[in-house]
Amino acid sequence: MKKTNVKLVTVAVFIATFMTAIEGTIVSTAMPTIIGDLHGLSLMNWVFSIYLLMSAVTTPIYGKLSDRYGRKLLLNIGLVIFVVGSFLCGISHTMLQLIFFRILQGLGAGAIQPLTYTVLADIYPIEKRANMIGLNGSSWGIASIVAPLLGGFIVDKLSWHWVFAINIPFGLLTIILVQFFLHEDIKPQHHAIDYQGIVLLTLSLVFLMLGLQNLNNAHTFVWSLVLLVLAVIALIILVKVERHQEDPVLPIHLFINRAFVIQNATLLLISGFLIGFEAYLPIWMQSVLGLSPLLGGFAVTPSSVIWLIGSYVSGKMIIKYPPHRLTTIALLFLLTGCIFYLLLPLKTAFYVFLLISAIYGFGFGLAVTTSTVTSQSVVSPEEVGTATSFNTLARSLGQTLMVSIFGIVMNLKLVQGVQKTPGLTFNMVNKMINPSTAGLVPAKYLQPARQIVFSGLHSIYIVGFIILLCAFIINLFDAKNQKLLIDYQKQDL
Protein backbone atom coordinates (compact mmCIF):
# COMPACT_ATOMS: atom_id res chain seq x y z
CA MET A 1 0.00 0.00 0.00
CA LYS A 2 1.20 3.52 -0.82
CA LYS A 3 2.34 5.70 2.07
CA THR A 4 0.41 8.81 3.04
CA ASN A 5 2.12 12.10 2.21
CA VAL A 6 1.87 13.52 5.72
CA LYS A 7 2.83 17.10 4.81
CA LEU A 8 0.35 17.48 1.95
CA VAL A 9 -2.48 15.80 3.88
CA THR A 10 -1.77 18.12 6.81
CA VAL A 11 -2.05 21.10 4.46
CA ALA A 12 -5.37 19.71 3.19
CA VAL A 13 -6.64 19.30 6.76
CA PHE A 14 -5.69 22.88 7.68
CA ILE A 15 -7.38 24.28 4.56
CA ALA A 16 -10.55 22.29 5.19
CA THR A 17 -10.73 23.34 8.85
CA PHE A 18 -10.10 27.01 8.05
CA MET A 19 -12.73 26.90 5.30
CA THR A 20 -15.45 25.75 7.71
CA ALA A 21 -14.16 27.95 10.57
CA ILE A 22 -14.34 31.14 8.53
CA GLU A 23 -17.79 30.33 7.13
CA GLY A 24 -19.89 31.54 10.08
CA THR A 25 -18.11 34.85 10.64
CA ILE A 26 -17.69 35.82 7.00
CA VAL A 27 -21.41 35.25 6.34
CA SER A 28 -22.23 37.43 9.38
CA THR A 29 -20.22 40.26 7.81
CA ALA A 30 -22.08 39.94 4.52
CA MET A 31 -25.54 39.44 6.05
CA PRO A 32 -26.70 43.11 5.96
CA THR A 33 -25.96 43.19 2.21
CA ILE A 34 -27.63 39.80 1.67
CA ILE A 35 -30.76 41.01 3.47
CA GLY A 36 -30.83 44.16 1.37
CA ASP A 37 -30.63 42.08 -1.80
CA LEU A 38 -32.86 39.10 -0.92
CA HIS A 39 -35.27 40.88 1.47
CA GLY A 40 -35.51 38.34 4.27
CA LEU A 41 -34.81 40.04 7.60
CA SER A 42 -37.31 37.85 9.49
CA LEU A 43 -35.56 34.71 8.21
CA MET A 44 -32.00 35.90 8.90
CA ASN A 45 -31.40 33.75 12.00
CA TRP A 46 -32.23 30.59 10.07
CA VAL A 47 -29.26 31.20 7.75
CA PHE A 48 -27.00 30.62 10.77
CA SER A 49 -29.00 28.21 12.92
CA ILE A 50 -29.80 25.69 10.16
CA TYR A 51 -26.10 25.45 9.27
CA LEU A 52 -25.08 24.86 12.90
CA LEU A 53 -27.94 22.41 13.43
CA MET A 54 -27.12 20.22 10.43
CA SER A 55 -23.38 20.17 11.12
CA ALA A 56 -23.91 19.22 14.79
CA VAL A 57 -26.52 16.54 14.06
CA THR A 58 -24.45 14.75 11.40
CA THR A 59 -21.08 14.93 13.22
CA PRO A 60 -21.42 11.65 15.22
CA ILE A 61 -22.84 9.80 12.19
CA TYR A 62 -19.91 10.76 9.97
CA GLY A 63 -17.52 9.80 12.78
CA LYS A 64 -19.02 6.34 13.12
CA LEU A 65 -19.14 5.74 9.37
CA SER A 66 -15.50 6.83 9.02
CA ASP A 67 -14.49 4.06 11.43
CA ARG A 68 -16.26 1.64 9.10
CA TYR A 69 -15.45 2.96 5.61
CA GLY A 70 -12.35 5.09 6.21
CA ARG A 71 -11.64 8.80 6.67
CA LYS A 72 -10.79 9.46 3.02
CA LEU A 73 -14.19 8.48 1.60
CA LEU A 74 -16.27 10.24 4.27
CA LEU A 75 -14.11 13.39 4.33
CA ASN A 76 -14.28 13.74 0.55
CA ILE A 77 -18.05 13.16 0.60
CA GLY A 78 -18.34 15.95 3.16
CA LEU A 79 -16.08 18.23 1.11
CA VAL A 80 -18.07 17.61 -2.10
CA ILE A 81 -21.38 18.35 -0.32
CA PHE A 82 -19.89 21.50 1.24
CA VAL A 83 -18.53 22.77 -2.10
CA VAL A 84 -21.82 22.08 -3.93
CA GLY A 85 -23.72 23.77 -1.09
CA SER A 86 -21.40 26.80 -1.30
CA PHE A 87 -21.95 27.09 -5.06
CA LEU A 88 -25.72 26.90 -4.69
CA CYS A 89 -25.71 29.43 -1.82
CA GLY A 90 -23.76 31.80 -4.07
CA ILE A 91 -26.40 31.67 -6.83
CA SER A 92 -29.42 31.91 -4.50
CA HIS A 93 -32.13 34.36 -5.57
CA THR A 94 -34.31 34.25 -2.44
CA MET A 95 -33.70 33.93 1.29
CA LEU A 96 -35.58 30.60 1.32
CA GLN A 97 -33.24 29.24 -1.36
CA LEU A 98 -30.24 30.40 0.65
CA ILE A 99 -31.52 28.70 3.81
CA PHE A 100 -32.17 25.45 1.94
CA PHE A 101 -28.68 25.42 0.43
CA ARG A 102 -27.16 26.23 3.84
CA ILE A 103 -28.56 22.84 4.88
CA LEU A 104 -26.22 21.28 2.31
CA GLN A 105 -23.30 23.32 3.60
CA GLY A 106 -24.06 22.17 7.14
CA LEU A 107 -24.27 18.53 6.03
CA GLY A 108 -20.80 18.87 4.52
CA ALA A 109 -19.33 20.70 7.52
CA GLY A 110 -20.62 17.90 9.77
CA ALA A 111 -18.03 15.62 8.15
CA ILE A 112 -15.19 18.11 7.82
CA GLN A 113 -15.06 19.31 11.42
CA PRO A 114 -14.53 15.95 13.20
CA LEU A 115 -12.75 14.06 10.43
CA THR A 116 -9.96 16.61 10.04
CA TYR A 117 -9.01 15.96 13.68
CA THR A 118 -9.42 12.22 13.15
CA VAL A 119 -7.07 12.25 10.16
CA LEU A 120 -4.44 14.04 12.27
CA ALA A 121 -4.83 11.32 14.91
CA ASP A 122 -4.26 8.70 12.20
CA ILE A 123 -1.12 10.21 10.64
CA TYR A 124 0.69 11.57 13.70
CA PRO A 125 2.03 9.70 16.74
CA ILE A 126 0.71 10.81 20.11
CA GLU A 127 3.79 12.89 20.99
CA LYS A 128 3.26 15.09 17.89
CA ARG A 129 -0.51 14.90 17.68
CA ALA A 130 -1.33 17.55 20.29
CA ASN A 131 0.77 20.19 18.52
CA MET A 132 -0.87 19.49 15.16
CA ILE A 133 -4.36 19.44 16.68
CA GLY A 134 -3.57 22.74 18.40
CA LEU A 135 -2.44 24.29 15.13
CA ASN A 136 -5.56 22.99 13.43
CA GLY A 137 -7.77 24.31 16.23
CA SER A 138 -6.15 27.74 16.01
CA SER A 139 -7.83 28.08 12.59
CA TRP A 140 -10.98 29.10 14.46
CA GLY A 141 -9.17 31.94 16.22
CA ILE A 142 -7.44 33.10 13.03
CA ALA A 143 -10.76 32.92 11.20
CA SER A 144 -12.38 35.22 13.77
CA ILE A 145 -9.73 37.84 12.94
CA VAL A 146 -9.51 37.39 9.17
CA ALA A 147 -13.20 36.81 8.36
CA PRO A 148 -14.57 40.31 9.09
CA LEU A 149 -11.80 41.94 7.02
CA LEU A 150 -12.11 39.45 4.17
CA GLY A 151 -15.90 39.55 4.23
CA GLY A 152 -15.94 43.35 4.15
CA PHE A 153 -13.46 43.42 1.26
CA ILE A 154 -15.43 40.84 -0.79
CA VAL A 155 -18.76 42.62 -0.26
CA ASP A 156 -17.27 46.05 -1.09
CA LYS A 157 -15.16 45.05 -4.09
CA LEU A 158 -17.08 42.08 -5.54
CA SER A 159 -20.50 40.99 -4.24
CA TRP A 160 -21.94 38.90 -1.40
CA HIS A 161 -22.18 35.90 -3.76
CA TRP A 162 -18.38 35.54 -3.61
CA VAL A 163 -18.53 35.02 0.16
CA PHE A 164 -19.77 31.53 -0.71
CA ALA A 165 -18.02 31.08 -4.05
CA ILE A 166 -14.58 31.55 -2.47
CA ASN A 167 -14.99 28.10 -0.89
CA ILE A 168 -15.09 26.35 -4.27
CA PRO A 169 -11.40 26.52 -5.35
CA PHE A 170 -10.12 25.76 -1.84
CA GLY A 171 -12.61 22.92 -1.46
CA LEU A 172 -11.61 21.38 -4.81
CA LEU A 173 -7.91 21.67 -3.91
CA THR A 174 -8.55 19.91 -0.60
CA ILE A 175 -10.49 17.09 -2.30
CA ILE A 176 -7.59 16.51 -4.73
CA LEU A 177 -4.98 16.47 -1.95
CA VAL A 178 -7.00 14.05 0.19
CA GLN A 179 -7.85 11.79 -2.76
CA PHE A 180 -4.29 11.39 -4.06
CA PHE A 181 -2.13 11.69 -0.95
CA LEU A 182 -4.12 10.10 1.91
CA HIS A 183 -3.87 6.31 1.88
CA GLU A 184 -5.60 3.93 4.29
CA ASP A 185 -5.76 0.24 4.96
CA ILE A 186 -9.49 -0.37 5.38
CA LYS A 187 -10.51 -3.67 6.91
CA PRO A 188 -13.86 -4.83 5.49
CA GLN A 189 -16.68 -5.10 8.02
CA HIS A 190 -19.69 -7.34 7.58
CA HIS A 191 -21.89 -5.96 10.35
CA ALA A 192 -25.22 -4.46 9.31
CA ILE A 193 -25.41 -0.65 9.39
CA ASP A 194 -27.33 0.58 12.43
CA TYR A 195 -30.03 2.52 10.55
CA GLN A 196 -32.35 2.49 13.55
CA GLY A 197 -29.66 4.02 15.74
CA ILE A 198 -28.84 6.67 13.12
CA VAL A 199 -32.50 7.76 12.91
CA LEU A 200 -32.95 7.87 16.71
CA LEU A 201 -29.64 9.71 17.25
CA THR A 202 -30.56 12.24 14.54
CA LEU A 203 -34.01 12.85 16.09
CA SER A 204 -32.61 13.27 19.60
CA LEU A 205 -29.97 15.77 18.41
CA VAL A 206 -32.43 17.73 16.24
CA PHE A 207 -34.87 18.05 19.16
CA LEU A 208 -32.04 18.94 21.54
CA MET A 209 -30.36 21.58 19.33
CA LEU A 210 -33.66 23.24 18.34
CA GLY A 211 -34.77 23.28 21.97
CA LEU A 212 -31.50 24.84 23.15
CA GLN A 213 -31.35 27.40 20.32
CA ASN A 214 -34.78 28.86 21.23
CA LEU A 215 -34.51 28.59 25.01
CA ASN A 216 -33.77 32.29 25.53
CA ASN A 217 -36.82 33.44 23.52
CA ALA A 218 -39.85 34.10 25.75
CA HIS A 219 -42.26 33.45 22.84
CA THR A 220 -40.87 29.96 22.16
CA PHE A 221 -39.87 28.94 25.71
CA VAL A 222 -42.69 26.39 26.15
CA TRP A 223 -42.04 24.95 22.68
CA SER A 224 -38.35 24.64 23.59
CA LEU A 225 -39.21 22.66 26.72
CA VAL A 226 -41.39 20.32 24.66
CA LEU A 227 -38.51 19.76 22.24
CA LEU A 228 -36.11 19.06 25.12
CA VAL A 229 -38.53 16.49 26.57
CA LEU A 230 -38.79 14.83 23.14
CA ALA A 231 -34.97 14.80 22.95
CA VAL A 232 -34.77 12.98 26.29
CA ILE A 233 -37.41 10.43 25.20
CA ALA A 234 -35.60 9.79 21.89
CA LEU A 235 -32.28 9.42 23.74
CA ILE A 236 -33.72 6.89 26.20
CA ILE A 237 -35.12 4.80 23.32
CA LEU A 238 -31.76 5.12 21.52
CA VAL A 239 -29.82 3.78 24.52
CA LYS A 240 -32.18 0.78 24.82
CA VAL A 241 -31.89 0.02 21.10
CA GLU A 242 -28.11 0.40 20.98
CA ARG A 243 -27.58 -2.17 23.74
CA HIS A 244 -28.74 -4.87 21.31
CA GLN A 245 -27.01 -3.66 18.12
CA GLU A 246 -24.01 -5.57 16.78
CA ASP A 247 -22.28 -2.39 15.54
CA PRO A 248 -24.10 0.53 17.25
CA VAL A 249 -23.77 4.11 16.02
CA LEU A 250 -23.67 5.09 19.71
CA PRO A 251 -21.25 2.67 21.42
CA ILE A 252 -22.56 2.56 24.99
CA HIS A 253 -19.25 1.27 26.36
CA LEU A 254 -17.58 4.59 25.46
CA PHE A 255 -19.67 6.24 28.15
CA ILE A 256 -18.46 3.76 30.75
CA ASN A 257 -14.88 4.92 30.07
CA ARG A 258 -14.30 7.40 32.92
CA ALA A 259 -11.50 9.37 31.25
CA PHE A 260 -13.52 9.74 28.03
CA VAL A 261 -16.69 10.88 29.83
CA ILE A 262 -14.95 13.32 32.19
CA GLN A 263 -12.82 14.93 29.47
CA ASN A 264 -15.85 15.46 27.23
CA ALA A 265 -18.06 16.72 30.08
CA THR A 266 -15.45 19.30 31.08
CA LEU A 267 -14.95 20.27 27.42
CA LEU A 268 -18.71 20.82 27.04
CA LEU A 269 -18.67 23.32 29.94
CA ILE A 270 -15.41 24.98 28.88
CA SER A 271 -16.74 25.41 25.32
CA GLY A 272 -19.86 27.01 26.76
CA PHE A 273 -17.71 29.51 28.62
CA LEU A 274 -15.61 30.06 25.47
CA ILE A 275 -18.65 31.24 23.49
CA GLY A 276 -19.51 33.66 26.30
CA PHE A 277 -16.01 35.10 26.15
CA GLU A 278 -15.94 35.44 22.35
CA ALA A 279 -19.50 36.80 22.02
CA TYR A 280 -19.67 39.23 24.93
CA LEU A 281 -16.15 40.67 25.20
CA PRO A 282 -16.62 42.70 21.96
CA ILE A 283 -19.94 43.97 23.37
CA TRP A 284 -18.10 45.07 26.54
CA MET A 285 -15.53 46.92 24.42
CA GLN A 286 -18.06 48.67 22.18
CA SER A 287 -20.92 49.45 24.57
CA VAL A 288 -19.18 50.02 27.92
CA LEU A 289 -15.85 51.45 26.72
CA GLY A 290 -17.24 52.99 23.49
CA LEU A 291 -14.50 51.51 21.28
CA SER A 292 -14.83 50.78 17.56
CA PRO A 293 -15.94 47.32 16.31
CA LEU A 294 -12.39 46.77 15.02
CA LEU A 295 -10.86 47.29 18.47
CA GLY A 296 -13.72 45.35 20.03
CA GLY A 297 -12.87 42.33 17.91
CA PHE A 298 -9.14 42.84 18.48
CA ALA A 299 -9.66 42.35 22.23
CA VAL A 300 -10.18 38.64 21.55
CA THR A 301 -7.05 38.34 19.35
CA PRO A 302 -4.46 37.55 22.10
CA SER A 303 -6.45 34.46 23.05
CA SER A 304 -6.11 33.12 19.49
CA VAL A 305 -2.35 33.67 19.50
CA ILE A 306 -1.67 32.29 23.00
CA TRP A 307 -4.00 29.35 22.23
CA LEU A 308 -1.11 27.95 20.16
CA ILE A 309 1.22 28.11 23.16
CA GLY A 310 -1.34 26.26 25.30
CA SER A 311 -1.60 23.58 22.61
CA TYR A 312 2.18 23.29 22.40
CA VAL A 313 2.44 22.86 26.18
CA SER A 314 -0.29 20.22 25.99
CA GLY A 315 1.73 18.33 23.39
CA LYS A 316 4.82 18.33 25.61
CA MET A 317 3.05 17.43 28.85
CA ILE A 318 0.34 15.02 27.74
CA ILE A 319 2.77 12.12 27.29
CA LYS A 320 4.24 12.71 30.78
CA TYR A 321 1.21 13.42 32.97
CA PRO A 322 -2.37 12.09 33.30
CA PRO A 323 -4.87 14.16 31.24
CA HIS A 324 -6.86 15.36 34.27
CA ARG A 325 -3.77 17.15 35.60
CA LEU A 326 -3.44 19.23 32.44
CA THR A 327 -7.15 20.00 32.49
CA THR A 328 -6.81 21.17 36.10
CA ILE A 329 -4.04 23.59 35.11
CA ALA A 330 -6.13 24.86 32.19
CA LEU A 331 -9.16 25.43 34.42
CA LEU A 332 -7.04 27.33 36.95
CA PHE A 333 -6.00 29.74 34.18
CA LEU A 334 -9.61 30.13 33.02
CA LEU A 335 -10.91 30.66 36.58
CA THR A 336 -8.18 33.25 37.18
CA GLY A 337 -9.18 35.16 34.04
CA CYS A 338 -12.84 35.01 35.03
CA ILE A 339 -12.09 36.36 38.53
CA PHE A 340 -10.21 39.27 36.95
CA TYR A 341 -13.30 40.03 34.82
CA LEU A 342 -15.51 40.01 37.91
CA LEU A 343 -13.21 42.44 39.71
CA LEU A 344 -12.84 44.96 36.86
CA PRO A 345 -14.48 48.37 37.37
CA LEU A 346 -16.66 50.05 34.75
CA LYS A 347 -13.77 52.12 33.39
CA THR A 348 -10.84 49.79 32.71
CA ALA A 349 -7.92 50.36 30.33
CA PHE A 350 -8.04 48.42 27.06
CA TYR A 351 -4.66 46.74 27.60
CA VAL A 352 -6.01 44.98 30.71
CA PHE A 353 -8.50 43.10 28.54
CA LEU A 354 -5.69 42.07 26.19
CA LEU A 355 -3.76 40.57 29.12
CA ILE A 356 -6.81 38.69 30.40
CA SER A 357 -7.54 37.49 26.86
CA ALA A 358 -4.00 36.02 26.76
CA ILE A 359 -4.64 34.17 30.03
CA TYR A 360 -7.82 32.74 28.56
CA GLY A 361 -6.02 31.73 25.36
CA PHE A 362 -3.52 29.59 27.24
CA GLY A 363 -6.29 27.91 29.23
CA PHE A 364 -8.45 27.24 26.18
CA GLY A 365 -5.54 25.92 24.11
CA LEU A 366 -4.41 23.58 26.88
CA ALA A 367 -7.93 22.34 27.73
CA VAL A 368 -9.34 21.81 24.22
CA THR A 369 -6.22 20.12 22.85
CA THR A 370 -5.90 17.85 25.90
CA SER A 371 -9.55 16.84 25.63
CA THR A 372 -9.34 16.02 21.92
CA VAL A 373 -6.12 14.00 22.18
CA THR A 374 -7.41 12.17 25.27
CA SER A 375 -10.72 11.26 23.61
CA GLN A 376 -8.81 9.78 20.68
CA SER A 377 -6.28 7.93 22.84
CA VAL A 378 -8.42 6.21 25.48
CA VAL A 379 -10.44 4.25 22.88
CA SER A 380 -9.46 1.46 20.53
CA PRO A 381 -8.05 2.44 17.09
CA GLU A 382 -11.28 1.20 15.49
CA GLU A 383 -13.29 3.83 17.39
CA VAL A 384 -11.12 6.94 16.98
CA GLY A 385 -13.54 8.48 14.44
CA THR A 386 -16.54 7.92 16.69
CA ALA A 387 -14.70 9.28 19.74
CA THR A 388 -13.49 12.39 17.89
CA SER A 389 -16.97 13.11 16.55
CA PHE A 390 -18.49 12.97 20.03
CA ASN A 391 -15.73 15.28 21.28
CA THR A 392 -16.67 17.74 18.52
CA LEU A 393 -20.36 17.32 19.37
CA ALA A 394 -19.64 18.12 23.04
CA ARG A 395 -18.19 21.47 21.95
CA SER A 396 -21.23 22.26 19.80
CA LEU A 397 -23.71 21.32 22.52
CA GLY A 398 -21.84 23.33 25.15
CA GLN A 399 -21.81 26.44 22.98
CA THR A 400 -25.46 26.10 21.96
CA LEU A 401 -26.61 25.58 25.55
CA MET A 402 -24.60 28.45 27.01
CA VAL A 403 -25.54 30.92 24.26
CA SER A 404 -29.15 30.45 25.36
CA ILE A 405 -28.35 30.68 29.09
CA PHE A 406 -26.16 33.77 28.67
CA GLY A 407 -28.89 35.34 26.53
CA ILE A 408 -31.48 34.74 29.27
CA VAL A 409 -29.16 36.29 31.90
CA MET A 410 -28.43 39.36 29.81
CA ASN A 411 -32.08 39.91 28.87
CA LEU A 412 -33.19 39.70 32.52
CA LYS A 413 -30.59 42.29 33.59
CA LEU A 414 -31.58 44.61 30.73
CA VAL A 415 -35.27 44.40 31.63
CA GLN A 416 -34.55 45.07 35.31
CA GLY A 417 -32.21 47.95 34.50
CA VAL A 418 -34.56 49.68 32.05
CA GLN A 419 -37.50 49.34 34.46
CA LYS A 420 -35.49 50.98 37.26
CA THR A 421 -34.37 53.93 35.06
CA PRO A 422 -37.24 56.34 34.28
CA GLY A 423 -37.14 57.62 30.70
CA LEU A 424 -34.68 55.01 29.44
CA THR A 425 -35.94 52.65 26.70
CA PHE A 426 -34.67 49.44 25.15
CA ASN A 427 -34.24 51.32 21.87
CA MET A 428 -31.79 53.69 23.59
CA VAL A 429 -29.82 50.76 25.03
CA ASN A 430 -29.64 49.14 21.58
CA LYS A 431 -28.34 52.37 20.07
CA MET A 432 -25.79 52.79 22.86
CA ILE A 433 -24.34 49.30 22.23
CA ASN A 434 -23.40 50.37 18.67
CA PRO A 435 -20.68 53.08 18.85
CA SER A 436 -21.84 54.56 15.53
CA THR A 437 -25.34 55.25 16.93
CA ALA A 438 -24.44 55.91 20.59
CA GLY A 439 -24.41 59.66 19.84
CA LEU A 440 -28.15 59.51 19.14
CA VAL A 441 -28.87 58.62 22.78
CA PRO A 442 -29.55 61.65 25.05
CA ALA A 443 -26.41 62.39 27.07
CA LYS A 444 -28.11 61.92 30.45
CA TYR A 445 -29.03 58.31 29.55
CA LEU A 446 -25.66 57.21 28.16
CA GLN A 447 -24.03 56.43 31.50
CA PRO A 448 -27.09 54.63 32.98
CA ALA A 449 -27.37 52.54 29.79
CA ARG A 450 -23.67 51.60 29.99
CA GLN A 451 -24.07 50.70 33.65
CA ILE A 452 -26.99 48.38 32.82
CA VAL A 453 -25.02 46.57 30.11
CA PHE A 454 -21.99 46.38 32.42
CA SER A 455 -24.20 44.83 35.10
CA GLY A 456 -25.50 42.29 32.56
CA LEU A 457 -21.95 41.38 31.49
CA HIS A 458 -20.94 41.04 35.14
CA SER A 459 -23.84 38.61 35.69
CA ILE A 460 -22.81 36.61 32.62
CA TYR A 461 -19.32 36.13 33.99
CA ILE A 462 -20.69 35.15 37.40
CA VAL A 463 -22.58 32.38 35.58
CA GLY A 464 -19.38 31.66 33.63
CA PHE A 465 -17.42 31.30 36.86
CA ILE A 466 -19.99 28.80 38.17
CA ILE A 467 -19.71 26.83 34.90
CA LEU A 468 -15.92 26.67 35.18
CA LEU A 469 -16.19 25.67 38.83
CA CYS A 470 -18.51 22.81 37.83
CA ALA A 471 -15.98 21.72 35.20
CA PHE A 472 -13.22 21.82 37.85
CA ILE A 473 -15.28 19.64 40.20
CA ILE A 474 -16.15 17.14 37.44
CA ASN A 475 -12.47 16.88 36.50
CA LEU A 476 -11.62 16.00 40.12
CA PHE A 477 -13.57 12.74 39.75
CA ASP A 478 -10.69 11.48 37.59
CA ALA A 479 -7.99 12.68 40.02
CA LYS A 480 -7.11 9.17 41.25
CA ASN A 481 -6.51 7.96 37.69
CA GLN A 482 -2.75 8.09 37.14
CA LYS A 483 -2.73 6.31 33.76
CA LEU A 484 -0.85 8.06 30.96
CA LEU A 485 -2.30 8.11 27.43
CA ILE A 486 0.46 5.78 26.27
CA ASP A 487 -0.80 3.23 28.83
CA TYR A 488 -4.25 3.22 27.21
CA GLN A 489 -2.72 2.65 23.78
CA LYS A 490 -0.57 -0.26 25.01
CA GLN A 491 -3.74 -1.73 26.49
CA ASP A 492 -5.37 -1.77 23.05
CA LEU A 493 -2.44 -3.47 21.29
Q: Per residue of the chain (493 residues), what is the pLDDT tens digit?
A: 578 888 999 999 999 988 888 876 677 667 667 766 776 655 666 777 788 778 888 888 888 888 888 889 999 999 999 999 999 988 888 888 888 898 899 899 889 988 998 899 888 887 777 778 877 777 776 776 777 667 777 777 777 888 888 889 999 999 999 999 988 877 766 667 778 888 888 888 888 878 876 776 667 788 888 988 998 998 899 888 888 877 777 788 888 888 889 999 999 999 989 888 877 887 788 778 877 766 776 777 788 788 888 888 887 888 788 888 999 999 999 999 999 999 988 888 888 999 999 999 999 989 988 898 888 888 887 788 888 888 888 888 888 788 778 888 888 888 888 888 888 887 777 777 766 677 777 888 788 888 888 888 899 999 999 999 999 999 999 877 777 666 555 554 4
Nearest to 52 by CA among 404, 489, 490, 438: 404
Q: How many CB atoms lie within 10 A of CB 217?
A: 15
CA pair distance 409, 383, nearest whole angstrom: 39
Nearest to 463 by CA among 219, 216, 248: 216
Q: What is the dihedral of CA 259, 265, 271, 274, to 10 degrees?
A: -90
For position 493, what pLDDT does the model report? 40
Q: How many CB atoms lie within 10 A of CB 330?
A: 29
For position 293, what pLDDT does the model report? 67
For position 229, what pLDDT does the model report? 92
For position 415, what pLDDT does the model report? 83
CA pair distance 453, 288, nearest whole angstrom: 7
Phi-psi region of 257 (alpha: psi -120 to 50; beta: other; left: phi over 0): beta
For position 466, what pLDDT does the model report? 95
| 239: Cβ contacts below 8 Å, ≥ 6 apart | 250, 252
